[in-house]
Structure 1
Amino acid sequence: MVTYPIEGACQCGGVTYQLLAEPQMVLACHCKECQKLSTSAFSLTAVVRTQDIVFQGEMREWLRKAESGNTNGARFCPGCGNRIYHFNPDQPDTIKLKPANLSDTRIIQPQAHVWVSEKQDWFTIPEGVKSFDKQP
Structure 2
Amino acid sequence: MWASARSWRAAPAWRIEGVAAPVAGGCLCGAVRFSFPEEPIARRACWCRDCQYLSAGNASVNVIFRKAGFACTGEVAGYDSTADSGNAMRRSFCPKCGTPLFSESSARTDVMVVRAGALDDPELGRPEGFIWTASAPRWGHVDSSLANCEGQPVPPRK
The TM-score with structure 1 as length reference comes to 0.89
Q: Aligned Cα RMSD in Å?
A: 1.6
Matched, 1:6 2:23: yes
Q: Compared with structure 1, are the counterparts of its residues 132 and 103 closer, same or farther at alpha carbon in structure 2 (3 Å cutoff)?
A: same
Aligned to 1:53: 70
1:73 and 1:46 map into 2 onto residues whose CA distance is 16
Percent identity among equivalent residues?
27
1:10 and 1:116 map into 2 onto residues whose CA distance is 28
Q: Does the CA-based 8 Å contact 2:22-2:39 persist in structure 1?
A: no
> C-alpha offsets along residues 102-122 of structure 1, whole Å, 9 cap, x if unaligned?
121222121110111111222
1:90 and 1:133 map into 2 onto residues whose CA distance is 19
> 1:90 deviation in Å?
5.0
Find the residue that maps to 1:128 and give its secondary structure.
coil
2:50 and 2:133 map into 1 onto residues whose CA distance is 13
1:114 and 1:27 map into 2 onto residues whose CA distance is 7
Aligned to 2:91: 74
The TM-score with structure 2 as length reference comes to 0.78
Q: Compared with structure 1, are the counterparts of its residues 134 and 89 closer, same or farther at alpha carbon in structure 2 (3 Å cutoff)?
A: closer
1:117 and 1:88 map into 2 onto residues whose CA distance is 21
Q: Compared with structure 1, are the counterparts of its residues 33 and 90 closer, same or farther at alpha carbon in structure 2 (3 Å cutoff)?
A: closer
Aligned to 2:132: 115
Aligned to 1:95: 112
**Which runs of 4 or more aligned residues in structure 1 lie more than 6 Å from their structure 2 counterparts after TM superposition?**
none
**Gaps (5+ residues) in structure 1?**
none
Q: Compared with structure 1, are the counterparts of its residues 93 and 38 closer, same or farther at alpha carbon in structure 2 (3 Å cutoff)?
A: same
Q: Compared with structure 1, are the counterparts of its residues 35 and 49 closer, same or farther at alpha carbon in structure 2 (3 Å cutoff)?
A: same
Match of residue 65, structure 1, among 82, 103, 117: 82
Matched, 1:38 2:55: yes
